[in-house]
Amino acid sequence: MSEANVELVRDFIAAGQRQDWQRAAELLDPDVEQHGTVGGLEEGQVYRGLAAMIREYESVDLEAWAERRLEPREFLHVDDLVVVLLHEYRRGRDSGVELEDDTAVVVTVRDGRIVRIQGYMDQDAALQAAGLSD
């Protein structure tokens, strides 16, 4: 089951990168929760449902960044969790400032659908949250 969860999360990330919201909706539970990135500006915020996730993406990411790439580097799984270790690249829309970070996301999958997404600025914190670190 865990390998199937990894493939589901890979598919979701690919759909998001293409902004294929129809495909994303097929992979998400209708009541999916996206939690603001731990260590990020949105920490503590919760977005429920795909429409709220898209609004947040469009209002923050598209307005602030001229370019943003998420490059999945590794997928790890334990039980119903999939940890994705990412390399992020961003270039500011107005400033042109370039930022690169190694981040992570912990995705919870139940009954073949993504039910929760939690980002982390720190990969070790994500691994610890998923029980994959000492």
pLDDT tens-digit profile, the chain (134 residues):
589 999 999 999 999 889 899 999 999 999 999 999 999 888 899 999 989 988 877 776 667 778 888 899 999 999 999 999 999 998 888 898 999 999 999 999 999 999 999 999 999 999 999 999 86
User: At the topology level of CATH, where does 2-129 sit?
Assistant: Nuclear Transport Factor 2; Chain: A, (3.10.450)
Q: Please indicate, yes or no, whether the overall pTM of this predicted structure exceeds 0.85.
A: yes
The residues spanned by each domain of the chain are 2-129
Which residues neighbour 8 within 8 Å (Cβ) at sequence distance 6 or greater? 27, 82, 109, 112, 113, 114
